[in-house]
């Protein structure tokens, strides 16, 4: 994730190209799932409790949409169970666990520098 300072001095984050592509593919998959179910954008948006504009952003795979909204749309389409499998196959995590490498639960506290 890259940090960019925009005109209004607000921090804006841009995703790496690989992540952007993954979100776009997810959005396209969501759109195809909606079309296969013969549901209009208005129907899905209403059932998910979001605007048609937000649904359009989800189907485009835009990163500024809350993950909760993605989850709502997946639920409306009957695909919410896919969420529980997303991080289930954590190969690296299991290797670290098997190697008994300690992974801290929290980041260490910042040290105070006295002047």
Q: Which of 8-17, 39-48, 102-111 has the weakest average pLDDT? A: 102-111
- Does residue 5 or residue 48 have the better pLDDT? 48
pLDDT digits (tens, 9 = 90+) for 69-105: 999 999 999 999 888 887 778 888 888 888 876 656 6
Would you say 50 and 69 are in contact if contact means Cβ atoms under 8 Å apart? yes
Q: Whole-number mean pLDDT of the chain?
A: 85
d(CA 26, CA 101): 33
Opening angle at CA 28, ends 80 and 60, nearest 5: 105
Nearest C-alpha neighbor of 25 from the set 62, 53, 52: 62
* pLDDT over 70 percentage in the chain: 78
Is pTM beyond 0.85 here? no
């Amino acid at each position: 994730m890259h940090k960019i300072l925009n005109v209004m001095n607000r921090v804006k984050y841009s995703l790496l190209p690989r992540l952007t592509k993954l979100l776009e593919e997810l959005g396209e998959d969501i759109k195809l799932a909606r079309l296969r179910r013969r549901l209009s954008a208005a129907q899905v948006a209403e059932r998910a409790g979001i605007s048609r504009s937000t649904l359009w952003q989800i189907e485009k795979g835009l990163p500024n949409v809350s993950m909760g909204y993605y989850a709502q749309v997946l639920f409306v389409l009957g695909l919410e169970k896919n969420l529980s499998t997303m991080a289930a196959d954590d190969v690296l995590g299991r290797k670290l666990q098997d190697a008994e490498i300690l992974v801290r639960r929290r980041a260490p506290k910042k040290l105070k520098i006295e002047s």
